Amino acid sequence: MSAITIGQAIVLGVVEGVTEFLPVSSTGHLKIAEGLMGVPVDDASVVGFTAVIQVGAIAAVLVYFFADIVRIVSAWGRGIANRQERHHHDYKFAWWVIYATIPIVIVGLAAKPLIEGPLASLWVVAGSLIVGSGVMWAADRMGRHKRGEDDTSLKDAMLVGCSQILALLFPGFSRSGATMSTALLLDLNRVAATRLSFFLGIPALTGAGLYELKDALGSEVGGAGPVPLIVGTAVSFVVAYASIAWLLRYVARHSFNAFVIYRIVAGALLLALLGTGVLTA
């Protein structure tokens, strides 16, 4: 018997697509949605399912930023072949994305038992939602928003890349929230911070999805099942594409206040549901 039905896969695909790139924590929202639907949150196939449908959201990034990605990869390839091309910012940026992904890979593999065990608790999600909102609020006000995407450096990429570890260890903190907040503290403007978060998420989330594929397709309770997995991934792709387009337009004109307020409300509501027994951690 599949651990996840097609109907549940659709709901989770929508949740993943909407929240993956918004700074509100896709992992936290997925765990809440799973809890409300009675899905076994701590089952290996369910954990794998949520990681794999992230690939749909990442595919949306690849399609949306296809021209940028081709430009960066082409510059990287030219730099590999020709030393004179290595001064180009796109060539350097490609390496920075690779370097900035290494820390989260190391921590992800080393801390996997903790991530899928004690740190998967909904109490952790609730606390991380609230604490992360404070970090985002402070970063949005402390940052001077004066640097654009062409002003990024290796230091920026490494610090922003390492901040992904916060979301890895504390579901609810939000990978995009952590990366955007760090970028804002480094004085990047909101659009540059958001785009950098997207690019750094491509290798990290794709790698996590592929690594978890074996758990998503088979476990003690029969696996998530290939059909729900395909449906969830397809839905997350469509919804994430729309979410990316909306977010880039939004951050060009607005602060992150709406996300800060939403995170606090969501965290408080989750604490109430856990405290009253409506949800179990």
User: Positive or negative CA dihedral for 103, 109, 111, 112?
Assistant: positive
pTM of the model: 0.85
Per cent of the chain over pLDDT 70 is 94
pLDDT for 28-63, tens place per residue? 788 788 888 888 776 777 877 887 888 898 899 899
For 32-35, the CB contacts below 8 A with 24+ separation are 32/122, 32/125, 32/270, 32/279, 35/122, 35/279, 35/280
Range among 50-54, 146-150, 204-208, 222-226 with highest mean pLDDT value: 146-150
Facing residues of 188 across strands? 147
Q: Whole-number mean pLDDT of the chain?
A: 88
Give residue 220's pLDDT: 47
* Rounded alpha-carbon distances, angstroms, from residue 135 to 38, 76, 164, 249, 258: 32, 34, 14, 23, 14
Residue 171 sits at the vertex; the CA angle it makes with 169 and 175, to the nearest 5 degrees, is 85
pLDDT for 1-34, tens place per residue? 567 889 999 999 999 999 988 998 887 788 788 8
Q: Is the pLDDT of residue 231 over 70?
A: yes
Q: Is the pLDDT of residue 140 over 50?
A: yes
* Average pLDDT over every residue of 240-249: 95
* Average pLDDT over every residue of 240-258: 94
pLDDT for 73-105, tens place per residue? 999 999 999 999 999 999 999 999 999 999 999
Give residue 217's pLDDT: 61
Give residue 221's pLDDT: 43
